[in-house]
Chains A and B, each alone.
Chain A
Amino acid sequence: MSASHDDHHHGPAKGLTRWLYTTNHKDIGSLYLWFSFAMFLLGGTFAMVIRAELFQPGLQLVEPNFFNQMTTMHGLVMVFGAVMPAFVGLANWLIPMMIGAPDMALPRMNNWSFWILPFAFAMLSSTLFMDAGAPNFGWTFYAPLSTTYAPSTVTFFIFAIHIMGASSIMGSINIIATVLNMRAPGMTLMKMPLFVWTWLITAYLLIAVMPVLAGVVTMMLFDIHFGTSFFNAAGGGDPVLFQHVFWFFGHPEVYIMILPAFGIVSAIIPTFARKRLFGYDSMVYATASIAFLSFIVWAHHMFTVGMPIAGELFFMYATMLIAVPTGVKVFNWVATMFRGSMTFETPMLFAIAFVVLFTMGGFTGLMLAITPADFQYHDTYFVVAHFHYVLVPGAIFSIMAATYYWLPKWTGHMYDERLGKLHFWLSFIGVNVLFFPQHFLGLAGMPRRIPDYALQFADFNWISSIGGFLFGASQLILLVVVIKCVKGGKKATPQVWEGAQGLEWTLDSPAPYHTFATPPDPKLIHAQ
């Protein structure tokens, strides 16, 4: 491009300060995604320690207390560091391009909401190097384990959670303001891509429950340092109260981690089935229903805590009700594929694996919802298998699918399809070998969060650990694919995929630094 007087308005600034000062949604999206991948590797390393210790019975590698620190840090880093920032990164990159907006509504706040995250996780991770050790009370940090009996580093944990919460809340406000206010003319709500819809609803969930999380850690802070007794029975408090407040946040939180995944899969499957998405309207309503139901089912995490029978029945039925809108979604995806001209590029493979394996995770969720059965499953590896099935081949596979799907749009190059497929198949096999045997372990009675176990659990743990190492190592392929794709490769066309629909595919590949400075032609906006 020939030099012109306004060159500096078009390209990004140079050097490190570009990334520090950037208010560009694409830059911030990339920052979020790279940060999330770094956290994915960090949390994965913790998981490898866990699986290595559980490789055989007995204590081989780590002290039980350090094992507990690993399970806690693995959960916290994966939930708040890997999955959530990855979705925010995708939202930053994609939502403005999908709705024909030039940028996010609040670009400076966008910069801030990203840049406080590395500090939060540096603070949290620094506890690993302190004498008292990292938090060791599980990612659910039940009181009084996290108050009366917590290591002194719990305060670092509390402030890290505060910062992560602030980041999520700012990100959500930004997304809602962008979606409500910055849509191109002609982009009515019911023409928005489902990824935008699911993120809009997710953002509402976030601003509703992240403050509750901030509240509960604040109560912990007061109990620990200022002599209050929110959760201290000796002073008139109640530890069970903690569980209610925590899960009032915690259950919507699990939908925060899956709704954007629904949006991603709803974008990818129509592309590679070369058909319009089946049942767009029902997808929107199903998402909204799931979001509503997420607020009234929290106590199914605590069936064994002691509840009146009416309460147990209410939470059981309400939980089972969630299977209805979720089933609507699964059937819609299957119906979209039905008689489609399907091809199986890497994003599609991840998306199909998502549909199958997430559904399996959903079914074990239904099993756990059955109150009387839950008394057996509670706090066993069955629960671990369940939520890893919905989070790893669920949320994380969808993030990987999204990465492969939009990578040509971001970098302007096609990724290495052969390596992508290799990454998929190793991940797919690895994740099943890793988590499927854990169902059996749980049903046989192996409790979660233990560094050692009875001998009869040895074989399945051995298999599970092998799967874990395979899955963990395979993720390095993703890193190679992405770096190769950033550096070069076959030039991507604007549409990239033959069946891709939507405004982002009308842009050049790579997407220019500034897009939709003038709104797109309304004729380009189609009903979904």
Chain B
Amino acid sequence: MRNESPAASTIRIVKRLLLVVVGMFGFGFAMVPMYDVICDITGLNGKTSGRYAEAEPAPVEDRKITVQFMAQNSEGMSWYFEPNDPQVTVSPGEVKVVSYKVRNPNAFAMVGQAIPSVAPNEAAQYLMKLECFCFQEQPLAPGEEVDMAIRFFVDENIPEKITKLTLSYSLFDITDYEISGDEITAR
């Protein structure tokens, strides 16, 4: 036993416990970046990992992988949003360009943001995007229609068992949000 009065000892215990409380409150927030890092490393949740900025690879001709494209509007989004090609077949390492058609049918300007997701989840980290409309927000004037492109390839290290993967985009109406372009590049 320490040689201290009960009151001093109580204060010491309370101070330590308050530190734990503050620490755990911080830990709750630390789970946010931890989660992102873990998802990035493992490709969990079908999150793709942002812009691929290294040299383009050479195609590996002995395998074929089917990449399917899906589009969906999140609740409240009224744009026409469809892939121009529902699916393509590529070799690992082969760079391919596909596009989505998007039209704002409303009489007012809107801003959209597409968020990708890959199924199966473990395929996400092998889908490399050189260029993607999801890297930036998409402002459309009333009635405006555009084709939005993706340049991508499938990494040659993709496991043998995966022969087909699906890239799905959810389109969000972010007209009323103030999200700067920098924050959403990590896709």
Give me the interface of A with B, judged by CB distance under 8 Å.
105-106, 149, 169, 172-173, 176-177, 180-182, 207-216, 219, 227, 229-230, 233-236, 238, 240-241, 244-245, 248-249, 306-308
Q: Is the CB of A233 within 8 A of B170?
A: yes
Beyond A176-B17, A308-B42, whether A181 also contacts B6 by CB under 8 A is yes
Picked from A173, A219, A234, the residue with its CB within 8 Å of the CB of B29 is A219
Contacts of A210 in B (CB 8 A): 21
User: Nearest Cβ in chain B — how far from A306, in angstroms?
Assistant: 6
Contact check, A106 vs B174: say whether CB atoms are below 8 A apart.
Answer: no
Q: Which residues of A contact B121 (CB under 8 A)?
A: 306, 308
Contact of A236 among B13, B18, B35, B184 (CB under 8 A): B184
B55 interface residue, CB < 8 Å from A?
no
Of the stretches B82-90, B155-163, B175-183, the one at the interface is B175-183
Q: Are B24 and A207 in contact, with the CB atoms below 8 A?
A: yes
Q: Indicate whether B115 reaches chain A with its CB closer than 8 angstroms.
A: yes
B113 to A, closest residue via Cβ? A234
- Among A169, A236, A249, the residue within 8 A (CB) of B183 is A236
| 20 CB-based A-B contacts, threshold 8 Å | A105-B10, A105-B13, A106-B10, A169-B21, A177-B17, A180-B13, A211-B22, A227-B177, A233-B74, A233-B115, A233-B170, A234-B113, A234-B174, A235-B179, A236-B179, A245-B32, A306-B45, A306-B46, A306-B121, A308-B44
Verify A182–B24 contact, CB threshold 8 A.
no
* Nearest 6 A/B pairs, CB to CB: A215-B28, A234-B172, A211-B25, A211-B24, A212-B28, A173-B17
Q: What per-residue 1/0 map shows which CB atoms of B15-50 lie under 8 Å from chain A? A: 001101111110111011001100100101111000
| Cβ of B106 under 8 Å from chain A | no
Q: Chain B contacts of A240 at CB under 8 A? A: 45
Known A-B contacts: A216-B28, A235-B183, A245-B28. Give 13 more (CB < 8 A). A106-B14, A173-B14, A181-B9, A207-B21, A212-B25, A213-B28, A233-B74, A233-B115, A236-B187, A238-B35, A238-B45, A245-B31, A306-B44
Given the complex of chains A and B, what is the CA–CA distance between A306 and B45 in angstroms?
A: 6
Q: Chain A contacts of B14 at CB under 8 A?
A: 106, 173, 177
Q: Specify which chain B residues have a CB less than 8 angstroms from the CB of A149 in the assembled complex.
A: 75
B186 contacts partner chain A, Cβ-Cβ < 8 Å: yes
| Residue in A176, A212, A236, A306 whose beta carbon sits within 8 Å of that of B24 in the complex | A212
Q: A211–B21 contact, CB under 8 A?
A: yes
B122 located at the interface, meaning its Cβ lies under 8 Å from any Cβ of chain A in the complex: yes
Our pick among A235, A241, A308 for the contact of B177 (Cβ within 8 Å) is A235
Query: With the chains together, A212 CA to B179 CA distance in Å?
Result: 26
For residue A310, which residue of chain B has the nearest CB? B42
Q: Which residue of B lies closest to A240 (CB)?
A: B45
How far, in angstroms, from A105 to B103 measured CA to CA in the complex? 67
Once bound together, how far apart are the Cα atoms of A64 and B39, in whole Å? 36
Chain A residue numbers with a CB within 8 Å of B44 are 306-308
From B29, B36, B46, B186, contact of A215 by CB (8 A) = B29
Residues of A within 8 A of B36 (CB): 238
Which of B23, B35, B170 is in CB contact (< 8 Å) with A244?
B35
Known A-B contacts A207-B21, A215-B28, A244-B35; the reply to A233 vs B9 at CB < 8 A is no
- What separation, in Å, do the CA atoms of A149 and B75 have in the docked complex? 10
Contacts of A105 in B (CB 8 A): 10, 13
Min CB–CB distance B51 → chain A (angstroms): 14
Which residue of the partner chain, among A169, A177, A181, A235, contacts B174 with CB atoms under 8 Å? A235
Complex-state Cα separation, A236 to B42, whole angstroms: 18
Decide if B24 touches A209 in the complex (CB within 8 Å).
yes
Whether the Cβ atoms of B20 and A207 lie closer than 8 Å is: yes
A214 lies within 8 A of B184 (CB) = no
> Closest residue to B28 on the A side, CB-wise?
A215
- The answer to whether residues A248 and B31 also contact, given A173-B18, A177-B10, A181-B13 and a CB cut-off of 8 A, is yes
Given A235-B179, A308-B122, answer yes or no on A177-B13 (Cβ-Cβ < 8 Å): yes
- Enumerate chain B residues within 8 angstroms of A307, measured Cβ to Cβ: 44
The answer, among B23, B24, B29, B172, for a CB contact under 8 Å with A233, is B172
Instruction: For the complex, give the distance between the alpha carbons of A169 and B75 in Å.
Output: 39
The CA of A169 and the CA of B19, in the complex, are separated in Å by 12
Give complex CA distance A216, B25 in Å: 9
Contact residue among A173, A177, A244 (Cβ-Cβ distance under 8 Å from B31): A244
A308 to B31, CA, bound (A): 19
Residues on B with C-beta less than 8 A from A169 are 21
Whether the Cβ atoms of A227 and B178 lie closer than 8 Å is yes
- Give every chain B residue within 8 A of A241 (Cβ-Cβ): 31-32, 35
Chain B residues within 8 Å of A248, by CB: 28, 31
**Most chain A CB atoms below 10 A, which of B10, B46, B113:** B10
Give the distance in Å from the alpha carbon of A177 to the alpha carbon of B11 in the complex: 9
Question: Do the beta carbons of B10 and A235 come within 8 Å of each other?
Answer: no
Which chain B residues (136-187) contact chain A, with CB distance < 8 Å?
170, 172-174, 177-179, 183-184, 186-187
By beta carbon, the residue of chain B nearest A249 is B28
Cβ of B18: which chain A residues have Cβ within 8 Å of it?
173
Contact status A211-B10, CB under 8 Å: no
Closest to A212 in B: B28
Chain A nearest CB from B141 CB (Å) reads 20
Residues of A within 8 A of B115 (CB): 233-234
* Chain B minimum-CB-distance residue to A238: B45
Nearest A residue (CB) for B35: A241
Q: What distance in Å separates the Cβ of B74 from its nearest Cβ neighbour in chain A?
A: 7
Chain B CB within 10 Å, residue with most, of A210, A214, A227, A306 = A306
* Inter-chain contacts of A244 with B (CB < 8 A): 31, 35
Closest Cβ–Cβ distance, residue A450 to chain B (whole Å): 20
Tell me the complex Cα distance, A443–B23, Å: 42
Nearest opposing residue in chain B for A179, CB measure? B13
Contact: B17 with A207, CB < 8 Å?
A: yes
A306 to B122, CA, bound (A): 10
For B39, the closest partner residue in chain A by CB is A238
Q: Separation in Å of the A209 CB from the closest CB of chain B?
A: 7
Which chain A residues border B32 with CB–CB below 8 Å? 219, 230, 241, 245
* Complex interface: chain B residues within 8 A of A106 (CB): 10, 14
| Complex CA–CA separation, A245 to B21 (angstroms) | 16
